[in-house]
Amino acid sequence: MAIKIQLPEDAPFTPAQRAWLDDFLNQTLNEASASTSGSKAVPVTALQSTETSNAAGHAKSIGQQEETHKQEGSEGYSKKRPFPSTVLNNRNLNGPGPKQTHHLEFSLEGSGLQYEVGDALAVFPVNDPVLVDEIIANLPFTLEEVPDRDGNDVSLREALLEHYEIGALSKIVVKKWQAQSASPFLRSLVEADNAEAWKDFCSGRELIDLVIDHPANFNDAKKFVSVLKKLQPRLYSIASSPKAHPGEVHLCVGVVRYESHGRKRGGVCSTFMSERITEDTRPKVFVHQNKNFRLPEDPSTPVIMVGPGTGIAPFRAFLEQLQLNETKSRNWLFFGNPHAATDYLYQEEIEAFLADGTLERLDLAWSRDQQTKVYVQNLMEQRAAELWQWLEQGACLYVCGDASRMAKDVDRALHQLIIDHGGKSENEVKEYVSEMKKAKRYQRDVY
């Protein structure tokens, strides 16, 4: 039976690329199906960028059957059918102060979902009901039903709670809103189409700001939700080993709160998980594979981990796995945060890993505990000679955390230590690092 594959128009390719891929995939898959009998349809996955948290990308399936993480007899939970999990534990890891980082433990019992260390958990957030009620109170319609993300009719309130983005604004949403609004400011913003003006307006504003400050004339609730983006799951690096915690998956989530334009605001998913999950809440989740962030195949390979802040998440999972391995390896962790007294995440566990030999080296950077700020990349510079020795012995380097600054600074430190202690030129360093990446000895999970 012939398999028909057609990439969607929103796939991240040009029309010419899409046509070539359509032809290639159909030819390849139909040749494969001709040599097998009773085969199921083969799913094709296009990777697209995502606005989720700390893992890069989400999968969009295109074949006749969505790719799922199944066991035989499982219900096939996935993005299209997320698993309603139970939260077993939810606690703040920080000491007294405004900073909050929550450790959450989700039950996967009965889901059939499987994961490996290095994978991510996708969580569908529920928007803040107080904010949803404020939005509805400023609209001329309240009781109408609207389509949810799957096209089913639900109440406007349920739709805004669970199915549509009401947080950060985008240029596309504002342009659609302006078409229904009499706001002279929005009209001038759209007509000028200045990149800096767009950035300035959208930064720190949300749907409620449009509703109150730039009201639009929608005929009904369906037209209103048609301009909104669908609520997407947020991805978080998994902070547990399935061998250490069978039937569970753990996360380490930094709670985002800030004030802008006269309003107190918060991250949609982080505040949902830290503030709005109760005993009756069943967060919808699914597993997202990250095959580009895996421990070495040879369990004796030395491992270097750099993960400040919530970047510690996958390395807690790594260390739990390494602790259970029969073959032991040399392992080195660089961790940092503002203050040792309040921000030493998983302190007891990390020090236990050091005590039992799972960790050979531990370097801690407390950026605000002294007059001169110290970050993980500074400690790498101080330990450059020894790091070079580890790299020459075949060590794998893993980095997790902030992509905009930390990961770039760590990458610069890596290049510099290779120049200083490896005696290589800039071109030779580029080749050395490139070979590390090809050999999966330099892996990053940055966001």
> Is the model's pLDDT at 268 over the cut of 60?
yes
Return the ∠ at Cα 212 (arms to 209 and 217), rounded to 5°: 110
Summarised one tens digit per residue, pLDDT across range 384-411 is 999 999 999 999 999 999 999 999 999 9
Q: Name the burial class of residue 183, with classes exposed (0-12), middle (13-18) and buried (19+) by CB atoms within 10 angstroms of its CB.
A: middle
Assign 8 a pLDDT band (cuts: 50, 70, 90). Answer: low
Q: Which domains does the chain have, with CATH numbers?
A: 66-124+238-291 (2.40.30.10), 129-226 (1.20.990.10), 303-446 (3.40.50.80)
Summarised one tens digit per residue, pLDDT across range 115-174 is 999 999 999 999 999 999 999 999 998 888 999 999 999 999 999 999 999 999 999 999
> What average pLDDT does the segment 63-91 reach?
71
Three-state helix/strand/coil letters over 308-332: CHHHHHHHHHHHHHHHHCCCCCCEE
The mean of the pLDDT values for the chain is 88
Residues 365, 308: contact at Cβ < 8 Å? yes
Eight-class DSSP state of 440: T
Three-state helix/strand/coil letters over 101-119: EEEEEEECCCCCCCCCCCC
Residues 222, 147: contact at Cβ < 8 Å? yes
